Structure 1
């Protein structure tokens, strides 16, 4: 574009006489016109500049006086809009140079945050001798507890509702008789160990991969990871369906009670047809949670859980189907879950990452498989402890099996709370490390451990005080109720230690040590828990007591190994590795 002083002679010639009455050209006319336009343009821009400067100065003076004359009010941007991981802070812009950046974590009581002046020579990463962390990085225990609680509560609600799906079946058939209660418990245990826990372990890889890509702004990669997991789950589902379909012929060769074995096999054969739906829901749930939408699962399960309970009541009792009505209800619910989740996301426009199906999801499965296999090993080892105790109790006697069924059912319900805390801790610590907030991440670790200790203590008290009412809910047999009440305090102690184990496990996964956490958990269960369970229960004849003493010993060994590993871990190296990982992902 030409400057205001440029002169276009053609534009002036239009004022000359017409062609028919053309007069001699007067050069002085053009010079006078040019000078006239130049003078007018210069005067215009000078007056405009003065007007804007005067207006801006008046504005800031007015704003400053309106705020008590201390400082003007500037427009700030929240820390979510920060474009650099080392500076998740508000940005304050003025017309002057250098500009001012102030921390969003300002204190109340009329004090303003400490300001730092940045100019062209300021390095992007501050050299403050603390691994890139800012000296004003302070997070209170109250704030961190609120943040972790805000993320954990929806997960707890969703986990409890999801756990209620199988619990409703056990309660529905538990009042049919001791054999039906034992068969439903054995079938649920085998379904968890050979199916559902595999899905949990595999999809938990999305908690790491999708969350990391979403925090880095790589939304299209979140969709790619989700598609890879879908394909993997569909492949894994095929052998699960085959195994459960023949459970009615396999279990009588394993369990001592043939009637319980046949009923359990029939239960598995029916629910096998709902596994594809459950796989779709579990992967979709992790995909949505990675985008920060933790409320989707409670909404979906809040609809499906009551429907499942109603179906159990109708099919088991109202229609007279008896025992087989429970697995039919669960199968219908397993397919209702993904349909409801899809409807919630699609019609609510809650998905920000879906980029369509792509062939890119068919390759480069290595990172996902490495994380998924370790997670499967970790959750399977914990599931194996309770699964083996249930199978082992069937060799002790029918009453022991029924009592163990009640204890394991309670375990599955209350396990959801510390597990949800572990998931939220993993995401919270990882996110803070990605942002370069090492001190805040360490504070989050301490808060999560304290919350886990509080939850475990609450379990220890409540289960010990309410052992008789809990036993009466799940069984009518007086001998079973008495045995459950005797073992419940030991079971509560094991859960107290397990809460701490899950809390520390979430920290290890948050600092990208999920492989080490999986190896520690699997190794200690195999070396300590299982041998003690069989040795005490059958070698010394301690029955159900021996099974739970072995489980408690295994949890104590895992907790000791985890604490020792964390003690030997350098936090400075953890922060540095998180920064290097972010730089590698960005490049």
Structure 2
């Protein structure tokens, strides 16, 4: 009797160990798949955003006024346009990811070309934002000197922003088919040439602010040219079959998905831009804008790592939904969140340790440095939150649920976050710190909303929707004309 009980207990323990070993194996396999997408995405985004931060650092050491002007353009105008293009490009991520999962590789090149058409038209329509920047900033009530400096810098940003049309969409096209390591290498090269190029143009040739902006545009286009060579050179034989008139067909459904994607991302990116605008109305506008934008850029630079996980979430979820495997999609979400939170905790601790030294990377102004130091604790918590909600946003993009997230972003950021920030910033002595507390409040509520959405989603139903979407957009391959 006792022997039988012991045998059963031993068998039960063996089964538990086997299940535990199987779970560890599944987590390890899923982690490898995640990092295969996330690591190149992290490297490319950190390097690409790094060129913007390095340019800000060069300009900050040239002139305090131009630092504020650059911050205004980069945080308002560039973020506004980048938000629209990044959001609209995430439609490419959804469609290419699901097409790759379903084995419809030839459709990916068609989706890429459709995105180029839609994004090029969109950016051209938005150019007046850069051309009339001075007038727009003054209309918004910004300081006249800062607005004039921003207007001048804004014109230099025009050749830079056109790289977004191609770099964002190509990255998502290659990422969906697990070929984005090439973008990581190209991005490292881009960042590597940006610093010596900036030194040459700013100090050796003494071009000042103009030199810093020329270096930014040149290095960004090196990346795009490298991507073109990779795609057109035959390294994507199954997903790129050349230019085709099919790209001009069925544009409306792509525009519709692009708009919902654009609204989702824009509401998130514009949130920070509006908070910078609020900082510009404070007593010492130059110091407030500079300090706030420095903290936002540090936060955004770390956020580039989170965007790598956002991309991984989108690819893994869209691939599994395209394959019809809802269970694998749910398991991937759990592993993604665990990994991203661990990374977020590391940077949370790092920000706390170096809280008083961060500002001097960008400025020599003691007043700005002191304000940044005051904001550093709140910055640390923002960095930690970055490890959760981008992953959940990536899950939504992978499933094509951008419209639902757009509504959540609208309520959490604009009904909760901005009013709280404005009240604390202007009706208390917290000033810029109050605005940042409001920003965190909006992000916390958005994170809760996204967690609930992921938990409540019927993933089997999402598999059906992915299949319907692929069938609706399907075009026969030239290699498979049947």
Task: Give me the TM-score of the superposition, normalised by structure 2.
Answer: 0.87
Q: Are positions 1:223 and 2:109 aligned together?
A: yes
State the 1:415 CA deviation.
0.7
| Contact 1:240 1:272 (8 Å CA) reproduced | no
SS in 2 for 1:467: coil
1:81 maps to what in 2? none
Cα gap change, 1:181 to 1:583, in 2 (>3 Å): closer
2:136 maps to what in 1? 250
Cα gap change, 1:394 to 1:441, in 2 (>3 Å): same
2:226 maps to what in 1? 340
Aligned pair partner of 2:407 in 519, 539, 556: 519
Cα gap change, 1:375 to 1:461, in 2 (>3 Å): same
Q: Are positions 1:412 and 2:300 aligned together?
A: yes
1:561 maps to what in 2? 449
2:89 maps to what in 1? 203
Cα gap change, 1:404 to 1:326, in 2 (>3 Å): same
State the 1:137 CA deviation.
11
The 5 A counterparts of 1:96-111 are: none
- Listed one character per residue, the Cα deviations across residues 168-195 of structure 1 (whole Å, up to 9, x for unaligned) are 1101111123212211111111233332
Aligned residues, how many?
453
Taking the aligned partners of 1:585 and 1:199, their CA distance within structure 2 comes to: 21
Q: Which moved more, 1:439-448 or 1:151-160?
A: 439-448
The 5 A counterparts of 1:362-377 are: 362-377=248-263
- Listed one character per residue, the Cα deviations across residues 137-168 of structure 1 (whole Å, up to 9, x for unaligned) are 99622221222122210100000011012111
The 5 A counterparts of 1:113-124 are: none
Taking the aligned partners of 1:177 and 1:582, their CA distance within structure 2 comes to: 52
Aligned pair partner of 1:537 in 420, 425, 436: 425
Q: Are positions 1:424 and 2:312 aligned together?
A: yes
| Contact 2:76 2:270 (8 Å CA) reproduced | no
SS in 2 for 1:169: helix
State the 1:351 CA deviation.
4.3
| Contact 1:255 1:391 (8 Å CA) reproduced | no
Which of these two proteins has the greater Rg computed from alpha carbons? Answer: 1
Aligned pair partner of 2:321 in 433, 438, 452: 433
- Listed one character per residue, the Cα deviations across residues 58-89 of structure 1 (whole Å, up to 9, x for unaligned) are xxxxxxxxxxxxxxxxxxxxxxxxxxxxxxxx
Task: Give me the TM-score of the superposition, normalised by structure 1.
Answer: 0.72
| Contact 2:201 2:207 (8 Å CA) reproduced | yes
Cα gap change, 1:407 to 1:367, in 2 (>3 Å): same
1:146 maps to what in 2? 32
2:15 maps to what in 1? none
| Contact 1:139 1:440 (8 Å CA) reproduced | no
Q: Are positions 1:310 and 2:222 aligned together?
A: no
2:332 maps to what in 1? 444
Taking the aligned partners of 1:169 and 1:472, their CA distance within structure 2 comes to: 15
The 5 A counterparts of 1:181-330 are: 181-330=67-216
Taking the aligned partners of 2:235 and 2:331, their CA distance within structure 1 comes to: 35
Taking the aligned partners of 1:480 and 1:267, their CA distance within structure 2 comes to: 21
Q: Which moved more, 1:188-197 or 1:443-452?
A: 188-197
Cα RMSD of the aligned pairs, angstroms, is 2.5
Taking the aligned partners of 1:243 and 1:578, their CA distance within structure 2 comes to: 36
The 5 A counterparts of 1:72-87 are: none
2:371 maps to what in 1? 483
Q: Are positions 1:495 and 2:383 aligned together?
A: yes
Cα gap change, 1:431 to 1:177, in 2 (>3 Å): same
SS in 2 for 1:499: coil
State the 1:405 CA deviation.
2.0
1:116 maps to what in 2? none
The 5 A counterparts of 1:164-183 are: 164-183=50-69
2:436 maps to what in 1? 548
The 5 A counterparts of 1:122-137 are: none
Cα gap change, 1:521 to 1:228, in 2 (>3 Å): same
More helix by share: 2
Taking the aligned partners of 1:585 and 1:195, their CA distance within structure 2 comes to: 27
Report which structure shows greater RCO (CA 8 Å, sep ≥6).
2
